[in-house]
Structure 1
């Protein structure tokens, strides 16, 4: 039905802006998670990209940054996939053990952020195409 109305290119462009903001959010999330090491560089990169996107693209696509915050959380869940507790792995010449957290909170928080960003983007996209809903 979208092809009949001819708004297919607009919808595709909206998702492109959303994905750009998703990357900004991921960069910002990595910057916050790694603040004591390389985080400052990621935060500066995210800030510069956000300024550029705010100048060029639709502001409603900025909700993609919310979904982008999910990517570092998914990575933390992956890193802690053996937890909770002490996890030992074989390495050359012996073994190494690390303390890992449970991955479930990182996974749930990431899934909620990812879903929230997508749902908000879809709903605001529909509202922008159909116009505001009249109040009765």
Structure 2
């Protein structure tokens, strides 16, 4: 498959992008976090997943290399469904989906996906949102009981 000139331009500009730190929080604000994202933001891959959870939560997810919860870890609750290999962390007070983390060695192990809707000062109209087909991903269950 040959990359289009638009793909080549995006890849070339990604090589020259810088990173910017962003702060975020849940809706009621006890959970606060920060992350670094490429700037300008159109270089970031943002996913609208159609799995049963993300569809209902209306999360827009972006995988990040670093994320720090700097307040409210005690307010975070964990939920897992299906294969139990994706940890979903949400605020136990307002219910906002803060981030997801894979514990599946066969699918993005250890990576975190933050909910872009919770970042402060982000114009989501400037990012390209890709559709993710989580509804049809069948992750193998963990060999050990994860809970």
Task: Sort the TM-score into its range (normalised by shorter chain).
Answer: under 0.3
- Higher Rg: 1
TM-score, normalised relative to structure 2: 0.24
TM-score, normalised relative to structure 1: 0.25
Structure holding more helix per residue: 1
